[in-house]
Amino acid sequence: MKGLTHSWHQSKGATFEEFFGCEIPSHYGDSEKEYQALRTSVGLRDVSYFGKVRIAGRDRQRFLQGMVTNDIKALQPGSGTYALFLDVKGHIQGDMKFYAFPEHVLMVLQHYIREKITSGLDRYIISEDVRMTDVTADLAMLQLLGPQAGAFLHSRGIENLAEELYSFRAAAVAGVECSVIRLGAGYALLCPADSATTVLDHLDAQLVGMRAFDVFRIESGMPLIGKDMDESNFPQEARMDAALNFNKGCYLGQETIARIDSQGHVNRHLMGIASAAILNPGDRLYKGDREIGKITSSTVSLLLKQPLSLGYVRREFAKEGESVEAGNDRTTAIVRQLPLPG
């Protein structure tokens, strides 16, 4: 599947890769330069392939409040939050962001779980006034990430930026009405899909493909649904505590999550694994003769100048500096706390 901006990225020298059924930019000729932009200045990612679902109806926030792990009922227009959708046993089905607009809530999530999550939610709509509409093709989303993202937006005439995480404000960008959303590592711009190239041209920032972002993602300890967390994981295992609200009342899987919290631990944690040789997803981790975990994602860290992976490690070994072995050849590896400093 190709997006509306595919030919625009092609004209900028993009090499493409397949990402869960979508063809997205892998790099623009120099992935290390793209990575350095994320670390030291600002980089521009086109993530218009993200799934976007408009949830309307007078009961929308009350309904979502009982479905997902964070506080949706408290959202006012212009605010947002990060949440998980769990099964009744507390296992992760998907992660998503919710943004409150005056007449609807917009759910943004990875495109490949969009149908699964919407059908999962739809099963619980009985008499509530809730309507879900897939608007993925109607809206583009662009991310400006890096320590200079705010200053860069100001240089492009975009003022009055939101400060609270996941909050957003309206702004005209090259005459296009956008919502500018505060993210942890920068900002996202939400705009009509047919105006995306106008906004891209106006921003004119260093473009960043998936290859560079994946290094940044793994160094930052950001799990990806379908790779680093799935239906076998509890949120606390994947270190998704920021998506959990323990004061909001009942939601799907809430009893299990509360019980884990009261017990104080899970049996494994998502950690960084630094190694001398490149590891592969699925490789097992060992301590002596004991299997203690497995690798889920891997890259070569430009901060560490060596291979770095994400993986689950049993809690007694999930600590900074723990020496373990990985893979069939028992490569020496060191457990790292994430995000990496730098």
* pLDDT (0 to 100) of residue 263: 83
Q: Are residues 336 and 286 in the same domain?
A: yes
Residue whose entry in the numeric block shows the structure tokens 């949440």: 83
Q: Are residues 164 and 24 in the same domain?
A: yes
Q: Are residues 212 and 335 in the same domain?
A: no
pLDDT band at 28 (very low <50, low <70, confident <90, very high): very high
pLDDT tens for 291-300 read: 999 999 999 9
Quick one: DSSP state of residue 242? G
Strand order in the sheet with 131-134: 80-86, 92-100, 105-109, 51-56, 131-134
Q: What percent of the chain has pLDDT over 70?
A: 99
Given a cut of 70, is residue 1 above it in pLDDT?
no
Give how many domains the chain has, as a whole number.
3
pLDDT band at 264 (very low <50, low <70, confident <90, very high): confident
**Max CA pair span of the chain:** 63
Q: Which of 218, 241, 275 is the last residue of a domain?
A: 218
Q: Are residues 144 and 43 in the same domain?
A: yes
Given a cut of 90, is residue 249 above it in pLDDT?
no
Q: Which of 184, 218, 252 is the last residue of a domain?
A: 218
Given a cut of 90, is residue 66 above it in pLDDT?
yes
Q: Strand runs (DSSP E) across 124-247, as ranges?
A: 131-134, 139-145, 168-173, 176-183, 186-192
In a domain, 145, yes or no: yes
Q: Are residues 152 and 37 in the same domain?
A: yes
* pLDDT (0 to 100) of residue 342: 72
pLDDT band at 231 (very low <50, low <70, confident <90, very high): very high
Q: What is the mean pLDDT of residues 303-313?
A: 98
Given a cut of 80, is residue 332 above it in pLDDT?
yes
Given a cut of 80, is residue 228 above it in pLDDT?
yes
In a domain, 224, yes or no: no
- Angle made by CA atoms 79, 175, 142, in degrees to the nearest 5: 50
What are 254's two structure tokens? 């809430």
Q: Are residues 284 and 160 in the same domain?
A: no
Given a cut of 80, is residue 254 above it in pLDDT?
yes
CATH number of the domain bearing residue 283: 2.40.30.110
Give the domain range for residue 205: 6-50+137-218
Across the chain, mean pLDDT equals 96
Distance CA 42, CA 208 (A): 9
Q: Are residues 307 and 212 in the same domain?
A: no
Q: What is the mean pLDDT of residues 162-168?
A: 97
Given a cut of 70, is residue 71 above it in pLDDT?
yes
The pTM (predicted TM-score) of the whole model is: 0.96
Q: What percent of the chain has pLDDT over 90?
A: 95
pLDDT tens for 184-195 read: 999 999 999 999
Q: Are residues 129 and 149 in the same domain?
A: no
99 or 3, greater pLDDT: 99
Is residue 268 classed as helix, strand or coil in its secondary structure? strand
